Structure 1
Amino acid sequence: MKQVKQFSTGLLLLVALMVVIISCKKEPTDDPLPQPATTTITTISPATAPVGSTIAITGTNFSTDPASNTVTIGGVTATVVSASPTQLVVVVPTGAANGPVSVTAGGQTAQSQATFTVSIPAAKPVKEVQGTLFANVTWKKDTVYQLRGMVYVPANFTLTIEAGTVIKGSGPELDPAGTNYAGALIVERLGKIIAQGTAAAPIVFTSAKAAGQRAPGDWGGLALEGKSPVNQARAAAYPNGIRGNVEAYGEPFDNSGTLQYVRIEYAGAVQPTTPATRMAGLTLIGVGTGTVIDHVQVSYSGSDAFAWFGGTAKVKNLVAYRNTDDDWSIDWGFVGNTQFGVSLRDPAVGTSTGSNGFEAEGYQAAEAADVTPVVAINGYTQTAPTFANISNFAFSTTPTTGLYQAGIYLQRNTAINIYNSLIYGYPEGLHLAGSTTGALANLTSGTLDLKGIVLANVSTPVVGVGAITTDQATAYFTTNGRSNQVIQTSDLASLLLPGETFSLSAPNFLPQTGSPLLTGAVTGGKLADSFFTPVTYRGAFGTDNWTTGWTSFNPQAKDYDR
């Protein structure tokens, strides 16, 4: 019996030992491995939405970095606004078609089972506007406003325009007064406009014609009047068919309101004046420093892009795109400041008199030479503004004459200051005309100041006319202390501009890394004014593309009715 018990005990020990051995030999692969997280799409909300709206995609395994998720809607890549592991908020992209939504994150791609539908919103109602607005008025983004004839915001009244609102200008045939004035909006002295768009929802002034039918000069334009000084006699009529006279005033800090994130397209219609004239896309007459103007694009104007008639306005972030006449037209004693402006020209479009980048003069165009300065009722007698960080792009190839003249055209006793700017692709770089007592005296006294300017791809860098010889003008421009440069044709590649700089459909103006334009800016002097943002670069751009989001380089295709 004792032997049986000993055998049983031994058997149990043997069995236990075998269990231990088998456990030790168990392969690691015998246990199931943890499975990687799977990217899935659960819902799309809403399942129907128009282009430009946002939708929420729920699911699993999304990246928390918006840029690390790739979302396509109907095969078109969408912008991801925000991201969490279980939800992506995206913008329905232009060109999106009905179809599934896909998300690629963490190396995995998921596709929705349901189809997303791109809806077409109903057309907005159209409200016609004419005459003088004797009331405080707000224009809302859910309505399209159509200007018929010259529409005025008079003294002591304010027009407020919501972000995202579209205003259309009619042609002269729809002038309700029967006088053949194209639709235009003019904010008169002591009147105000509050037009505060955003980068995501700019305010747009455009042609009343349908997409595909728009052209330069379809309507008049936008003009602001102020009580800041001008150098014209008080009986002088306002330009380009705008009603009223200069009168007597001199309030440099005057406030005409706000223009921010605004696009102005297809303006510059012929006005029935004698002689016939055209408004610029944006005209500023005696506008004061209390006015806020930044992020404004003028495209396809049949005349100038921006025109300053006197005043003290301080302006930033301007885009002039494929306009017909001058980009920056300066007259009537403008003494304000402008920083960050870019112009892109269509080389096939210009004027028979020769379009310019800058055209600055001290007196009216009818005066053929320098004259005795007008006795100013406000203390200002010369056109003496300061421009900084401007880029003008015309010809990418050899410039031709006929439709173009100069990147900087200065005449009639102007005392303009231009700093840290790039002029590219004009028959003439700098054209300086005047008399001994006018422009030549401005050169020798330093009243006219040009520094940190780069002239590139210009057939003739500097031209002197009248009492100023080309040698005198060249000696002034090339003085070492002025830090100006002329880039020869063989050295243009050294500027390291992107290939898309001259693209007429999708331009990119940012210099490439290592570009000499990113350094070498002059400082001090009038640039010490607190208005100017201190930068190290020359031209309108460093590494920040301030045109992103709110500009349009294909307004012909825009459906502004919805």
Structure 2
Amino acid sequence: MKNLLFGALIALSLTACSENETGSNTDSFGMQSASAEYSAACSKPVQTVSGNITASTTWTADKIWEIDGIVNVPNGVTLTIEAGTYIKGAVPNGTGATGVLVVQKGGKLNANGTATAPVVFTSYNLLDCDDETTASPGDFGGVVLLGNAQVNTGTDSNVIEGLTDQANPSQYYYGSTTTTNNTDNSGSLTYVRIEFAGRVLPIGSDGNGNEINGLTMGGVGSGTTIDHVQVSFGKDDSFEWFGGTVNATNLVSYAADDDNFDFDNGYVGTISCALALANYSSTHSLSGTSPDSNGIELDNNASGSGATPFTHPVISNLTIVGAKSSTNGALYENAIHIRRNGRLTLNDVAVTGYPVGILNETVSGAAVNSAHLNFTSVTAHGFTYATASRIGSTTAALTISGVTATSTSNPATAWGMTQPFFNEGLWDVSSRNCGDFQGTWTNYSF
């Protein structure tokens, strides 16, 4: 059995940056219990893949598939991955991107696992049959889907984050402002786990981060299926949407270094049934010296302009769980952070265990515009503010219509869940376990 001692053996020091971040703390993983599933899979033969997949193909479950560098699924090509298949990144050789699977515009990825045999993208250190090695965020590069749906960037030459340093960055364009296809189909991801992913490039001159996340979606259309996908121990965000119209159901973000769910550049899809679960023994991103991990981070775009379509996800049945105590809660920033002219609709949402529950940050000192928020049946806890506004540099309490209950208690409010805080013993998110979040397809102990 694989017995991983994160942080009991080593301290991880990662540079995990998003907007205006300059580094990460060195808070290390606590000991995780052993997991037999990797030990059972690690003896399978390894098939290494690199470069472009030139014809439609299937990755079968009788092998471990190793991604060396960047593997591209080009226009007109479909990659199918069987249920129960394990995919790992190659051991890094230098600073180049590796373990990155990119579905380019017009390509398709059909990775359809089952509740008992998910498709797993994970660390090479979990599949080496060596009990002494340990997995770290960034061991797997990430999964990137690129489509032809609308974006609000004003150009068709958007290179997806994290791949801007490539020799031919045009192959990583996403979205469109002129030839949009909002029903574009990039394939189907069901019962998929993405673990220990991420790639972080040096911060840009504009102060913005440049990262590959666990699952990155750029201009992905509504013909794509995203259902029962879990991202765990990512080096940056778990899920990030750059424009597009793709809908998603039954999402789990666990132990994210940075944001659990990040929305930018005109995303207008729906998210139904999602869980963001903190593990405060994981790594945590910083903005300068301040915590910068959010349950949701939402921008219209980097400048906060009025470009349309406005970023406006519609999210139903969402649970965001941080830390039980204010001491551990201080590792994070906001459960939900709406900023830079973004819009948000929430229905049936509970957030708890962050310093601020819901923060509405305005642009350039403008007044709060309540029309940007449409909330129904939302409960919010924050150790400092349950609901707040930030106007310029001033943060103050804000009453938000549709937030039916608020709390600033310490310990954090469980909002009727049995015991939602992961680090506090046996955890249980009943009665908000809408997506089988504690079922056999998930794995919280590596």
TM-score range, shorter chain: 0.7 to 0.9
Match in the other structure for 2:332: 404
Matched, 1:263 2:211: no
CA contact (8 A) 1:399 1:426 kept: no
Match of 1:190 among 77, 100, 106: 106
Change (3 A) 1:466 1:205: same
1:416 to 341, 344, 350: 344
Aligned to 2:26: none
CA pair 263-250 structure 1, distance change in 2 beyond 3 A: same
| Contact persistence 1:181–1:271 (CA under 8 A) | no
SS in 1 for 2:93: helix
Structure 2 unaligned spans of 5+:
2-34
**What does residue 161 of structure 2 align with?**
239
| Matching residue's letter, 1:362 | N
Deviation (angstroms), 1:501: 4.0
1:409 shift after superposition: 0.6
Distance (whole Å) between structure 2 residues aligned to residue 302 and residue 196 of structure 1: 24
1:356 aligned onto 2:276: no
- In the TM superposition, what whole-angstrom CA distance separates every residue of 1:139-170 from its partner, at most 9, and x where no partner exists? 00001111111111000000000000000013
State the Cα distance separating 1:417 from its structure 2 match: 1.1
CA contact (8 A) 2:419 2:426 kept: no
What is the TM-score with the length of structure 2 in the denominator?
Answer: 0.80
Instruction: Give 2:52's match in structure 1, choosing from 123, 132, 145.
Output: 132
Superposition CA RMSD, Å: 2.9
The equivalences for 1:218-237 within 5 A come to 218-232=139-153, 233-237=155-159
The 2-side partners of 1:453 and 1:301 are apart by 27
SS of equivalent to 2:428? coil
- Partners of 1:381 and 1:439 in 2: CA distance: 21
Give the Cα separation in 1 of the matches to 2:413 and 2:337: 26
Please state how far the C-alpha of 1:185 moved relative to its aligned partner. Answer: 0.2
Matched, 1:163 2:83: yes
Give the match for residue 429 of structure 2: 509
Residue 274 to residue 411, structure 1, CA distance change in 2 (3 Å): closer
- Which protein has the larger Cα radius of gyration, Structure 1 or Structure 2? 1
CA contact (8 A) 1:352 1:403 kept: no
Task: Specify the alignment match of 1:456 in structure 2.
Answer: 381
Q: Deviations over 1:149-203 (max 9, x none)?
A: 11110000000000000000134416xxxx6112200101110011110001100
Deviations 1:79-129 (A, max 9, x none): xxxxxxxxxxxxxxx879xxxxxxxxxxxxxxxxxxxxxx97882110111
What letter matches 1:350 in structure 2?
A: H
Counterpart CA distance in 2 for 1:495 and 1:173 is 47
User: Who is 2:256 aligned against?
Assistant: 323
In 2, the alpha carbon distance for the partners of 1:325 and 1:171 equals 24
Superposed CA offset, 1:279-326 (max 9, x none): 110011111111111000100001001001111111000111111000
Residue identity (%): 31
Question: What SS is found at the alignment partner of 1:288?
Answer: coil
Conservation of the 8 A alpha-carbon contact between 2:388 and 2:398: yes
Query: Letter of the aligned partner of 2:86 in structure 1?
Result: V
For 1:323-378, what per-residue CA distance to the aligned partner results, in whole angstroms no more than 9, with x for missing partners? 100000000100000011111112243111211000000112xx3xx3342xxxxx
Task: Give runs of aligned pairs for residues 163-562 of structure 1, distance below 5 A.
Answer: 163-173=83-93, 180-210=96-126, 212-232=133-153, 233-241=155-163, 243-244=169-170, 245-246=173-174, 248-271=178-201, 277-348=210-281, 349-353=283-287, 354-364=292-302, 367=303, 370-373=304-307, 380-399=308-327, 403-435=331-363, 440-441=368-369, 443=370, 446-466=371-391, 474-475=398-399, 477=400, 479=401, 482-489=402-409, 495-499=415-419, 501-503=421-423, 507-511=427-431, 540-541=432-433, 545-555=436-446
* Structure 1 residues 456 and 256: alpha-carbon distance in aligned structure 2, compared to 1, 3 A threshold: same
Distance 1:485 1:504 in 2: 24
The aligned length equals 390
Return 245-254 or 145-154, whichever deviates more.
245-254
What residue identity is the alignment partner of 2:100?
Answer: A
Q: 1:206 to 1:312 in 2, by over 3 A?
A: same
Where structure 1 has 5 or more consecutive residues not aligned to the other structure, the ranges are 1-49, 51-93, 97-118, 374-379, 512-539, 556-562
More helix by share: 1
SS of 1:320 mapped into structure 2: strand
Question: In structure 1, what is the Cα distance between the partners aligned to 2:36 and 2:189?
Answer: 30
8 Å contact kept, 1:400–1:427: no
Looking at structure 2, the residues matched to 273 and 470 of structure 1 have their Cα atoms a distance apart, in angstroms, of 27
Q: Deviations over 1:408-451 (max 9, x none)?
A: 1111100121221111111111111123897734x2xx242122
Mapped to 2, the partners of 1:494 and 1:307 lie a distance apart of 27
Paired with 2:110 and 2:49, the residues of 1 have a C-alpha distance of 17
Contact 1:399–1:458 (8 Å) recurs in 2:
no
After TM superposition, give the deviation of residue 278 of structure 1 in Å.
2.2
Output the TM-score relative to the length of structure 1: 0.64
Q: In the superposition, relative to structure 1, how do residues 493 and 346 fare at CA in structure 2: closer, same or farther (>3 Å)?
A: closer
**Greater relative contact order structure (CA < 8 Å, 6+ sep):** 2
Q: Is the 8 A contact 2:366 2:391 kept in 1?
A: no
Cα distance between partner residues in 2 of 1:356 and 1:422: 14
Q: Secondary structure at the match of 1:352?
A: strand
1:249 alignment partner AA = T
Structure 2 distance, partners of 1:438, 1:382, is 17
**Post-superposition offset of 1:250:** 1.1
The answer to whether the 8 A contact 2:161-2:211 is kept is no
Deviation at 1:269, TM superposition (A): 2.6
Q: CA deviation at 1:554?
A: 1.2
